[in-house]
């Protein structure tokens, strides 16, 4: 039996049918610098609480999947430099060997749904990488989202990905993508990626109604793309210039596979004088707040 521990606060909320929002731990362990990542983790949980839901940050500790973390566990996730990044394929391996790791979008979504959580907030989903026609490099997020019934609130996909191909792949997998108060699909740091979506919602209740309508019909996730306001995005001109440079530099340096994303993001961070970190925290806090509002609406619908 796969070992799972539900934090008492999360367990009580789920047992009573109250709204819960899942949060990933990879952002904290690998996406933000120490020691400020602890503060961000607490701010994310606080944002969920302030908007009416119970936060459940998910990670694997000593072979046990934790659905919700204690303060001590959160400190551990944020301070351990050797913590592994666990995709869905890695979770049973870590469990079998008693290892610890932070969960990605794919593994967080799967563990959250297994625990009975209906809403998940993250920064950006993974997708099809540039050059995937030659490398077949695409995120495991896509396949998992196609078979995991959960609302995923995100700021679109990272702009370093092939976003048109990512949206096409999601369409092929029958994963619905809804713009929140927009038809423009966001590009993580950017309010608009240049691609659009077919559907939009303007309230958390509308999202909850769509999610309820799919019950018994589709097992795919419902992606809610929540863009940053224009005045809070990264400067688009600077972003595009650095992105072109960084992608070219990665090719020249022979950087491939999973190393490309951190390589490019690090160069964006340096070129923006750290502004990408501020934008990252801003967008994920906004996503956590919206996810909590949606979770409240979903819980009301389910009752």
Q: Residue 39 catalytic?
A: no
Task: Using pLDDT thresholds of 50, 70 and 90, give the confidence band for residue 137.
Answer: low
Element (H, E) at 99: none
- Least confident window among 45-49, 88-92, 209-213, 254-258: 254-258
CA terminus-to-terminus distance, the chain:
30
What does DSSP say about strands 190-196 and 199-201: parallel, antiparallel, or unpaired? unpaired
Give yes or no for a contact between 13 and 7, defined as CB atoms under 8 angstroms apart.
no
- What pLDDT band is residue 134 in, cutting at 50, 70 and 90? low
Q: How far apart are CA 86 and CA 96, in angstroms?
A: 13
d(CA 33, CA 125): 20
The radius of gyration of the chain's CA atoms, rounded to the nearest angstrom, is 18
Percent of the chain with pLDDT over 90: 72
Q: Do the Cβ atoms of 66 and 7 come closer than 8 Å? A: yes
Structural domains in the chain, CATH included, are 1-117 (3.40.1790.10), 121-303 (3.40.1790.10)
85 catalytically annotated: no
Q: Point out the catalytic residue in the list 45, 138, 158, 192.
A: 158
- Predicted confidence at residue 264, as pLDDT, reads 78
DSSP state of 81: T
- Is pLDDT larger for residue 3 or for residue 52? 52
**Which residue out of 24, 45, 138, 192 is catalytically annotated?**
24
Burial class for 274, CB neighbours closer than 10 Å (0-12, 13-18, 19+): exposed
| Kind and range of the H or E run holding 95 | helix 91-97
Q: What is the pTM for the complete model shown?
A: 0.94
Q: How far apart are CA 82 and CA 224, in angstroms?
A: 32
pLDDT tens-digit series, residues 68-122: 999 999 999 999 988 999 999 999 999 999 999 999 999 999 999 999 999 999 9
Q: How confident is the model at residue 173 (pLDDT cuts 50, 70, 90)?
A: very high
Question: Helix, strand or coil for residue 194?
Answer: strand
């Amino acid at each position: 039996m796969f070992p799972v521990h539900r934090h008492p606060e999360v367990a009580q909320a789920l047992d009573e049918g109250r709204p819960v929002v899942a949060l990933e731990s990879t952002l904290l362990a690998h996406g933000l610098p120490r020691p400020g990542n602890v503060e961000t983790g607490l701010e994310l949980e606080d944002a969920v609480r302030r908007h009416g839901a119970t936060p459940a940050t998910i990670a694997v500790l000593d072979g046990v999947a934790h659905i919700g973390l204690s303060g001590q566990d959160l400190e551990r996730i944020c301070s351990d430099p050797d913590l592994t990044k666990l995709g869905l394929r890695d979770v049973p391996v870590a469990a079998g060997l008693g290892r610890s790791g932070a969960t990605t979008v794919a593994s967080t979504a799967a563990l959250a749904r297994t625990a009975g959580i209906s809403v998940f907030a993250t920064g950006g989903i993974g997708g099809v990488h540039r050059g995937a026609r030659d490398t077949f490099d695409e995120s495991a997020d896509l396949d998992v989202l196609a078979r995991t019934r959960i609302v995923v609130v995100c700021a679109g996909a990272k702009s370093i990905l092939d976003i048109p191909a990512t949206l096409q792949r999601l369409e092929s997998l029958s994963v619905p993508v809804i713009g929140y108060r927009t038809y423009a699909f966001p590009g993580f740091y950017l309010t608009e990626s240049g691609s659009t979506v077919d559907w939009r919602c303007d309230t958390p209740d509308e999202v909850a109604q769509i999610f309820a309508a799919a019950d018994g019909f589709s097992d795919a996730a419902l992606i809610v793309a929540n863009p940053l306001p224009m005045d809070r995005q990264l400067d688009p001109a600077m972003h595009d210039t650095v992105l072109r440079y960084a992608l070219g530099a990665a090719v020249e340096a022979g950087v491939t596979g999973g190393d490309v994303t951190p390589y490019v993001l690090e160069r964006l961070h340096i070129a923006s004088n750290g502004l990408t970190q501020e934008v990252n925290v801003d967008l994920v806090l906004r996503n956590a707040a919206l996810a909590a509002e949606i979770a409240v609406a979903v819980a009301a619908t389910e009752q």
